[in-house]
């Protein structure tokens, strides 16, 4: 599914010079993901899907509010307790319906089965460096999720066959970096340490479901506590059962 989204997002629209209506929605405030000059006013065909399936626009994303102890990669993180479209998809959702819009919206509807929508973006280097850094970031975040007791989609992983009393993560999480070369050459252990701090902050904001979206303040723990991460004890590797992805 992610490969399909990426493939559709890489295709150029048939008419990239279509003028937007007054008061367009701007999506270039977070990073120059694709085209910094893109101005989009979502069409009714997109808004209808958003209302029906509870999907939001990237403007809902806010800084996660975490300071990494060491961040030579200049990673910034934004998140939302809602499912948000990826930035690079927005140019297909203008008021004039793009030929790929329906297929892309169908993919997002299917993606609603995943509680946590994650993406990473690196820019400022060659296409190879940007792509490699993006994959390495996503690898580190998924490993950090597993270390915290979740699967790659943010669902709590049962331990010893028992369901967890802790809710999974729900919403959207975006990582961005303008230093792909630094990420490509970084030791994975160092990158994983950053990812664990990010997931700890994400737990506070994204843990739970729509009826209980946040942690109580008394449940917050440091990821550097003894044997814990985000307030959950780490199970030994030989006892941890992974769910099938």
* pLDDT for 129: 96
Q: Report the Cα–Cα distance between both ends of the chain, in Å, rounded.
A: 13
Within a domain: 183: yes
Over the stretch 49-94, which tens digit does the pLDDT of each residue have?
Answer: 999 999 999 999 999 988 888 899 999 999 999 999 998 899 899 8
Within a domain: 240: no
Within a domain: 241: no
Within a domain: 239: no
The b/e string for 36-55 (b: 16+ C-beta within 10 A; e otherwise) is eebbbebeeebeebbeeeeb
Number of folded domains that form the chain: 1
- What pTM does this model have? 0.70
Query: For 122-142, what is the mean pLDDT?
Result: 96
Over the stretch 183-230, which tens digit does the pLDDT of each residue have?
Answer: 999 999 999 999 999 999 999 999 864 433 433 333 343 343 333 333
Over the chain, what is the mean pLDDT?
77
Query: Which of residues 91 and 242 earns the better pLDDT score?
Result: 91
- Cα–Cα distance between 80 and 82 in angstroms, integer? 5
Is 135's pLDDT higher than 90?
yes
Over the stretch 157-176, which tens digit does the pLDDT of each residue have?
Answer: 887 766 665 689 999 999 99
Within a domain: 86: yes
Within a domain: 66: yes
* pLDDT for 66: 80
Is 177's pLDDT higher than 60?
yes
- Cα–Cα distance between 103 and 98 in angstroms, integer? 10
122 Cβ contact list (under 8 Å, min separation 6): 129, 130, 131, 133, 134, 137, 176, 177, 178, 179, 180, 183
Within a domain: 103: yes
* pLDDT for 6: 55
β-partners of residue 122 are: 177
State which residues form the domain around 19.
2-233
194 Cβ contact list (under 8 Å, min separation 6): 68, 70, 71, 73, 75, 140
Residues 174 and 61 sit within 8 Å (Cβ to Cβ): yes
Closest among 114, 119, 220, 219 to 168, alpha carbons compared: 114
Within a domain: 245: no
User: Residue 43: pLDDT band by 50, 70, 90 thresholds?
Assistant: confident
Instruction: Tell me 107's DSSP state.
Output: H
């Amino acid at each position: 599914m992610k490969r399909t989204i990426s493939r559709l997002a890489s295709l150029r629209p048939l008419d990239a010079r279509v003028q937007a209506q007054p008061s367009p929605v701007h999506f270039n405030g977070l990073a120059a993901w694709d085209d910094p000059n893109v101005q989009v006013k979502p069409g009714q065909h997109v808004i209808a899907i958003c209302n029906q399936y509870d999907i939001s626009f990237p403007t809902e994303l806010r800084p996660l509010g975490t300071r990494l102890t060491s961040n030579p990669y200049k990673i910034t993180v934004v998140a939302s307790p809602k499912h948000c479209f990826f930035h690079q998809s927005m140019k297909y959702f203008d008021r004039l319906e793009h030929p790929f819009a329906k297929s892309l919206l169908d993919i997002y509807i299917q993606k609603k089965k995943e509680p946590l929508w994650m993406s990473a973006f690196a820019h400022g280097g060659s296409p190879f460096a940007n792509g490699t850094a993006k994959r390495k970031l996503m690898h580190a975040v998924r490993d950090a999720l597993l270390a915290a007791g979740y699967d790659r989609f943010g669902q709590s992983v049962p331990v010893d066959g028992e369901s967890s009393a802790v809710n999974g993560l729900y919403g959207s999480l975006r990582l961005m970096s303008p230093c792909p070369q630094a990420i490509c050459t970084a030791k994975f252990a160092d990158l994983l340490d950053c990812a664990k701090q990010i997931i700890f902050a994400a737990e506070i904001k994204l843990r739970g479901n729509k009826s209980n979206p946040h942690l109580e303040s008394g449940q917050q723990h440091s990821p550097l506590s003894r044997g814990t991460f985000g307030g959950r004890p780490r199970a030994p590797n030989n006892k941890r059962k992974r769910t099938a992805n």
